[in-house]
């Protein structure tokens, strides 16, 4: 089975459309969304509707939770807070309901899927360093765990008591090693590459691979300006930070 994994779309319709088109060409069997469908960007309803139509499974992200009132807006930085409050105002009842019904975690075969961290998913912790990732391996029982949240594609590997970090485009999954894999961000990458990022895990070949897809950044920026969203959020799309 080939599983497409997308995360952190953040209401960026142009990026999501480009990724879905790329996924169609690559013929995945299942699509999983790791949350943060909304937030930051200008097209929350259209993005939620595409996820509703095309994702087989999805989990709740912190910006999704903020938009539906499950996470207080005071926990977000000022720019994110403005975008979340705007998103609340424009979400349709159907899309609000969809986000409200998303689970915190999904387990499929040998994979755990969660937005931020498997140990305390509701606390929205960032796993960016090995010392923070190490205890998280005790929080899930599957071979693999897929996360988003930090917007940076990276894999943490554990063999016995040793944990290390890998940033390779392709990762061969080995039986004796367990993995926490961050799928990166579709709508707001922060690793210096502004192209949309997503991953595919092939269970037959035991390989995970990242893919980068260009999209019309200028159009998204224009729509953000028209919506009155913060200039900082608009500018960062072009630099991938």
pLDDT in tens, 20-62: 999 999 999 999 999 999 999 999 999 999 999 999 999 999 9
For the cut 90, the answer to whether the pLDDT of residue 204 exceeds it is yes
Q: Looking at residues 99-122, what average pLDDT do you find?
A: 96
pLDDT of residue 239: 96
CB-based contact 93:99 (threshold 8 Å): no
pLDDT of residue 60: 98
Q: Looking at residues 174-202, what average pLDDT do you find?
A: 98
Query: What is the distance between the alpha carbons of residues 224 and 15, in angstroms, rounded to a whole number?
Result: 14
For the cut 90, the answer to whether the pLDDT of residue 109 exceeds it is no
pLDDT of residue 219: 98
CATH fold of 2-236: Purple Acid Phosphatase; chain A, domain 2 (3.60.21)
pLDDT in tens, 148-183: 999 999 999 999 999 999 999 999 999 999 999 999
Query: What is the distance between the alpha carbons of residues 165 and 128, in angstroms, rounded to a whole number?
Result: 9
What percent of the chain is modeled with pLDDT above 70?
100
Average of per-residue pLDDT values in the chain: 97
Query: What is the distance between the alpha carbons of residues 23 and 5, in angstroms, rounded to a whole number?
Result: 10
All residues at 6 or more sequence positions from 70 whose CB lies less than 8 Å from its CB, including other chains: 60, 100
CB-based contact 57:82 (threshold 8 Å): no
Closest CA to 13 of 233, 223, 229: 223
What percent of the chain is modeled with pLDDT above 90?
99
Q: Looking at residues 80-107, what average pLDDT do you find?
A: 98
Delimit the domains of the chain by residue range.
2-236
């Amino acid at each position: 089975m080939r599983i497409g994994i997308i995360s952190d779309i953040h209401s960026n319709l142009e990026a999501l459309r480009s990724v879905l088109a790329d996924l169609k060409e690559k013929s995945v069997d299942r699509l999983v969304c790791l949350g943060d469908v909304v937030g930051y960007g200008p097209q929350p309803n259209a993005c939620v509707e595409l996820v509703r139509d095309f994702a087989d499974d999805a989990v709740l992200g912190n910006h999704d939770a903020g938009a539906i009132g499950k996470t207080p807006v005071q926990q977000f930085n000022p720019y994110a807070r403005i975008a979340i409050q705007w998103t609340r105002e424009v979400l349709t009842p159907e899309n609000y309901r969809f986000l409200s019904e998303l689970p915190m975690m999904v387990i499929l075969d040998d994979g755990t899927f969660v937005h931020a961290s498997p140990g305390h998913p509701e606390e929205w912790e960032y796993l960016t360093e090995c010392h923070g990732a190490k205890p998280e391996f005790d929080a899930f029982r599957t071979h693999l765990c897929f996360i988003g949240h930090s917007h940076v594609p990276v894999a943490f590997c554990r063999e016995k008591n040793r944990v290390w970090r890998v940033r390779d485009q392709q990762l061969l999954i080995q039986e004796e090693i367990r993995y926490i894999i961050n799928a990166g961000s579709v709508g707001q990458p922060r690793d210096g590459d502004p192209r949309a990022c997503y991953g595919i895990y092939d269970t037959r070949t035991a390989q995970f691979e990242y893919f980068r897809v260009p999209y019309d950044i200028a159009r998204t920026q224009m729509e953000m300006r028209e919506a009155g969203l913060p200039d900082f959020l608009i500018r960062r799309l072009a630099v991938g930070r």
